[in-house]
Structure 1
């Protein structure tokens, strides 16, 4: 959970000037925040997913993301995507990931 909080805070800090982020963290919308926790398939690492997203960000309307690297082990542990309205290109990349259910 700590790594998820770190990654979420980092992407909000990096994208605070985006309209979607401003709307997401607006005081009147705090109770409406929505997050989805996905897991990558066994054959796809977080680093690979981050690379796919980074490549797609250059070509499409995919929002920025932040890959949290746990130190001192230097292990990718969590990836957070900036608040967004689920553009088709993002959905296509993430469709291989599955919803984590508790």
Structure 2
């Protein structure tokens, strides 16, 4: 063998002897004969191969976890489904709330809500929303805008987005008082109303 090969053999034998604590006169004599140091990568590689504990270690936790993906529980499925509930949005005018009798404002909201549902009575979401199994658990969100200009702008925005709704025009005064959407999954329409305040 050449000097480099002999050095490499002596290094491996010495590391092996140290790792397993086996006295070996050959490795010591060879190591004394040549004092050149092995490369760093060789040291790391040899130690990882000769470490007895590494041979008996199980797979890492991350590897084991990646091999088995837990199935979603029925509770998780129910939470996901309940998050995207069917909801009807009703929007009233704040200026009318402050100046009209409360009953009159509530009546306007009822007009818009019933009209929006009846106008879309064949819609699948409306049918589900009004299904006898769901009739006692309806979801409505009642919001407010400042006045007439804002209710008209909101109606235009909903129309441009293809959101079915009813802008209620009170007669004989002939001015808009409120609006209501047909029932929608919340995820479909919530973005149109995220800047509006809850009606209080």
* TM-score, normalised relative to structure 2: 0.44
User: Could you list the runs of 5+ residues in structure 2 that have no partner in the other structure?
Assistant: 1-105
SS at match of 1:37: strand
Contact 1:50/1:67 (<8 A) preserved: yes
Q: Which runs of 5+ in 1 are unaligned?
A: 58-62
Q: What residue is the counterpart of 2:154 in the other structure? A: 49
Q: Which has the higher contact order (CA 8 A, sep 6+)?
A: 1
Of structures 1 and 2, the larger Rg is shown by 2
Tell me which of 172, 177, 186 is aligned to 1:77: 177
Q: Let me know the Cα RMSD of the aligned residues.
A: 1.7
Distance in 2, Cα, partners of 1:55 & 1:87: 18
Number of residue-to-residue matches in the alignment: 95
Q: Is the 8 A contact 1:10 1:66 kept in 2?
A: yes
Moved segments of 4+, more than 4 Å: 41-44
Cα deviation code 1:83-102 (max 9, x no counterpart): 011235x322211211113x
What is aligned with 1:25?
130
TM-score by length of 1: 0.83
Q: Deviations over 1:46-100 (max 9, x none)?
A: 111000100111xxxxx41000011111111110001011235x32221121111
* Counterpart-to-counterpart distance in 2, 1:20 and 1:86: 11
Q: Alignment partner of 1:45: what SS?
A: helix
Higher helix proportion: 2
